[in-house]
Amino acid sequence: MLDNPSTTATAEARRQIEICNACRYCEGYCAVFPAMTRQRAFADGDMTQLANLCHNCRGCYYACQYTEPHEFAVNLPAALAEARQDSWDRFAWPGVFAGMFQRRAGAMIAVLIAAIALLFGMALWLQPESGEGFYAYLSHGIMVALFTPAFLFPVLALAIGVRRYWNEVGGEPVHFADLRQAGIDAASLRNLSGGQAGACNFEAEDRFTNARKHAHQAVMWGFLLCFGSTTSATIMHYFLDWSAPYGPLTPPKLLGVPGGILMTIGAGYLAWVKTKADPSLGAKAFGGEVAFTLLLGAVGATGLALYAATGTGAVPALLAIHLGCVLAFFLTTPYSKMAHGAYRFAALVREAQIKRQSRGGTES
């Protein structure tokens, strides 16, 4: 793995991981500890990989005998969280936005307000002469012209960031088996079940709960259902010549409504869980993370409200608010907590790759 100039966060994480590697009491915990035991010395790329494998379940902290007031002052969840956030800042593209939305709730709110104001203005001044459903207030062409670059930009930015990550951790050409194993681990959120109880210590300290895992599952599957709803609507519009609005028994609604419900409930639950967690066991930044979680919930909630208001005079205002939330979500994704999905999946792929290579596997 590449050895880049150490940051303070990386150096502190390395100090603590070396103590953990000597102790190995937590060897059976999440993916970090088996990965750690494969070597004795850790380059910066190794620390980046370990930090992104960590899902901050905090089980190791409550099992550790070297936490304060011990002179070693081990707080591995916090140390890896700081190193992980530092890596996201380094990989972010363009770099000028690094950390802006991860750390500042105010920046997230400013983008949200600006996006909603933009959509309000467009709905007021560019209202088409004809159209059905939402397109009576904002034409399909205007929506495509606005949201296509807003969607493609974060995809490009995250692709560049993940490429930088892959280079730093020494990633090699990926086999299908690596992607399959990483997909299984990500879908099951296996690393949110650290420790020996199959549950997480995130918000309940030394007690185990599945609240955070359930909230993550609701957000993840809700988001995927909403993405499937948008994808199906795109296929129906361009390939089946079936334009919106769509009925309640069509794929966009059958996927979008439960997806919106899951995303709204999951994001609210996740934000609540975060307020119960000990802030000293995570990265110092907090406001931006909660603001983004609430923004994600707002995307689902405003989408549901817009659907419920179909045919009423509330549609123009709700349309602007919902599309403003979606636009703010897209624009901030590469620099907010949402980016963790891309980097952690890359870390899982790299871990699966290393394990396969250690077994001498060559399946593809």
Question: What pLDDT is recorded for position 181?
Answer: 95
In a domain? residue 301: yes
In a domain? residue 2: no
Cα–Cα distance, 252 to 255 (Å, whole number): 5
- Residue ending a domain, choose from 63, 89, 115: 89
In a domain? residue 227: yes
Two tokens, residue 80:
């890896």
Residues 63 and 125 in one domain: no
One pLDDT digit (tens) per residue for the chain, 364 residues? 555 556 789 999 999 999 999 999 988 888 899 999 998 899 999 999 999 999 998 989 999 999 999 999 999 999 999 999 999 999 999 988 887 777 777 777 888 888 888 888 877 677 776 666 677 777 778 888 888 999 999 999 999 999 999 999 999 999 999 999 999 998 888 887 765 567 788 888 888 888 898 999 999 999 999 999 999 999 998 899 888 788 899 999 999 999 999 999 999 999 999 888 999 998 876 667 888 899 999 999 999 999 999 888 888 888 888 988 999 899 889 988 889 999 999 999 999 999 999 888 555 4
In a domain? residue 1: no
In a domain? residue 328: yes
- Residue ending a domain, choose from 58, 89, 120: 89
Q: Which residues touch 340 (CB under 8 Å, ≥6 apart)?
A: 84, 88
CA distances in angstroms from 158 to 155, 225, 327, 341, 351, listed in the order given: 5, 21, 16, 10, 20
Cα–Cα distance, 219 to 264 (Å, whole number): 8
Residues 136 and 260 in one domain: yes
Residues 256 and 314 in one domain: yes
Residues 208 and 329 in one domain: yes
Name the nearest CA neighbour of 137 among 307, 328, 313: 313
Q: Are 186 and 213 spatial neighbours (Cβ–Cβ below 8 Å)?
A: no
In a domain? residue 364: no
Residues 216 and 349 in one domain: yes
Helix axes 105-125, 287-308, angle to 10 degrees: 30
The secondary element (H helix, E strand) that includes residue 186 is: helix 176-188
Residues 12 and 102 in one domain: no
Domain region containing 37? 8-89
In a domain? residue 79: yes
